[in-house]
Amino acid sequence: MNPAALNTELATTSRLLVLIALTVYVVSFLVLAVSLANRAKATKQEQTKAALRIENIGLVLAGFATAIHAVGVLTRGIAANRVPWANMYEFSISGAFVVSFIYLVALFFRDIRFIATFVIGFVVLVIGSANTLFYVQVESLMPALQDYWLVIHVSVAILGTAFFTIAAALAGLLIAKSGKKKSNFLKVFPDTEKLEKLSYQFNVIGFILWTFTLIAGAIWADKAWHRFWGWDTKEVWTFIIWTIYAAYLHATTTRGWEGKKAAWLTLIGFSAVIFNFTIVNLFFKGLHVYSGL
């Protein structure tokens, strides 16, 4: 790719937009946290309604931040003259956008408003890390990545990660509610059965997407390196993640695993996803290491 095609000024604008989105996300997170705290302390129906109104404001702010975020990601892609997920910074901002977008869309189909604080908090953490730890100047792709499989393989991986993130938030709440010592704060969340059902649904979609990620990666590897599998660190960890979630689905559907045991498997799987993105990219060598740092 011709370096002249890179637009550094637009890349700077992109980063500014992402930082503006981050600011709005932070405000949204604080408003949602206040709403959650007020609901936990509410003793009257009027107080609960007031807390819900604050929550609505927080969700509107989250939607506004997501819209700005989308433009920031889009302009990064235009500046680079390619899809904006070729290094850790770009994958982080694109992934955080998809997490927020998928969550907001899911609100129209599932009652999961109660995890808004945690999801938006996670988005804030990811974008903050991207801008402080992972930021790199816009640059051209290495030859092996200049392929349409980059669009297919990585976009599906990002989608799968988004569903795993929401499932993990639900699993974390399930574990908290299953504890022997239950604080008054936990009363605002649904019962463990509903949390388990919702977490399972998001995990199923995430697993299907991750399965396609694994298959698409093998096809791309054969095209780029003339082998479907090479025991590269990234390949191995992608398979480990798939195995953990496959074990989760097997345990919950055929072995009767439920409640905390299933929730812990979900968190183990999500921890593997985070490890794969951070530690593997930063500290391991291989064909798939694309931190850009």
Segment 68-119, tens digit of pLDDT: 999 999 999 999 988 898 889 999 999 999 999 999 999 999 999 999 999 9
pLDDT at 1: 45
CB environment 86-122: b (16+ within 10 A), e (fewer): bbbbbbbbbbbbbbbbbbbebeeeeebbbbbbbbbbb
- Let me know whether 221 and 165 are in one domain: yes
pLDDT at 24: 98
Instruction: Say whether both 39 and 9 belong to one domain.
Output: yes
Asked whether residue 96 is assigned to any structural domain, the reply reads no
- Residue 138, classed as helix, strand or coil, is coil
59 and 132 inside one domain = yes
Tell me how many helices (H) and strands (E) the chain has: 9, 0
CB 189 within 8 A of CB 177: yes
Q: Which regions of the chain are under pLDDT 70?
A: 1-4, 142-146, 180-182, 286-293
Distance between first and last Cα of the chain:
20
Question: Does residue 257 share a domain with residue 185?
Answer: yes
- Helices 8-41 and 45-80 pack at an angle, to 10 degrees, of 170
* Mean pLDDT of all residues belonging to the chain: 89
Residues 178 and 253 in one domain: yes
Q: Which helix (H) or strand (E) holds 214?
A: helix 192-225
The pLDDT value given to residue 143: 66
Spatial neighbors of 77 by CB under 8 A, at least 6 apart, are 83, 84
**% the chain with pLDDT above 90:** 61
Range of the domain at 122: 1-84+112-141
Name the domain boundary from 93, 125, 141.
Answer: 141
User: Last residue of a domain, which of 141, 156, 179?
Assistant: 141
